[in-house]
Amino acid sequence: RVSAASRTRKEMITLALIKMATGDLEGAARQLDSKWGPQLSAEERNWVWGVIGKQAAGKLSSDAMGYYANVTKDSDLNDDMLGWKVRAALRAGSKPRWPEVLSAVNGMSADGQRDPTWAYWKARALLATVPNPSEKRTEALALLEGIASPRGFYEQLALEELGRKVTAPAAPAPLTAEEKDAARLNASLNRGLYAIAIGLRSEG
């Protein structure tokens, strides 16, 4: 059983490494790899490597996938870190690193995997990596079918991947008199519109 003092020490080490990573990626990676890593649990190490990988990916660093390679369990990371891992894997080298894309999306929460962005890239990764053609096509096509729509960028990419024409969504129905009246009586909406009208767009 871990004592309260030991737990606090681990938390302080983790926070210090995360703070360091915002300004000195290489230094944080060196400290984690050589000095502090053995004092942390596998989950804590994975989290810090995920932070370092995310910071590197956000800077378009070619080292991002090297940092992410130290993560032994993708599900120890949150969806935001894993999303950056997908982006880094897509940019790595002359062609995407599809196994890493697939691993990162599979490590996401159920909600994260349902996001059209990651559903699309998982489908593409499946088509590129799963050895059994019928198996990979079945799962990939199901993912693409689940998001295919004219509403949204990845939804439209899914339509194209399925060989369908991308068309503009139907125009919305005109506002009813009741909807217009409700908008006129909405004090918050009116304040926002007034702020925009006098030049305070972000506040509005």
Q: Quick one: which of 77, 64, 86 has its CA closest to 109?
A: 77
What is the CA 1 to chain-centroid distance, rounded?
Answer: 34
Query: What phi and psi values does residue 153 have, to the nearest 5 degrees?
Result: -65, -55
Q: Which amino acid is at 45?
A: R
Say how many C-beta atoms besides its own lie within 10 A of residue 90's C-beta: 16
With a CB cutoff of 8 Å and minimum separation 6, the contacts of 94 are none
pLDDT tens, residue order, the chain (204 aa): 556 667 777 778 778 778 878 888 788 888 777 777 777 788 888 898 999 999 999 999 999 999 999 999 999 999 999 999 999 999 988 899 999 999 999 999 999 999 999 999 999 999 998 776 677 788 999 999 999 998 899 999 999 999 988 887 778 899 999 998 998 899 999 899 888 999 888 888
What is the model's pLDDT at position 1? 55
pLDDT at 2: 54
pTM: 0.75
Angle between helices 4-21 and 42-58 (to 10 degrees): 10
Q: Where are the alpha helices (DSSP H) in 4-152?
A: 4-21, 25-31, 42-58, 64-68, 79-91, 98-106, 110-114, 116-129, 133-147
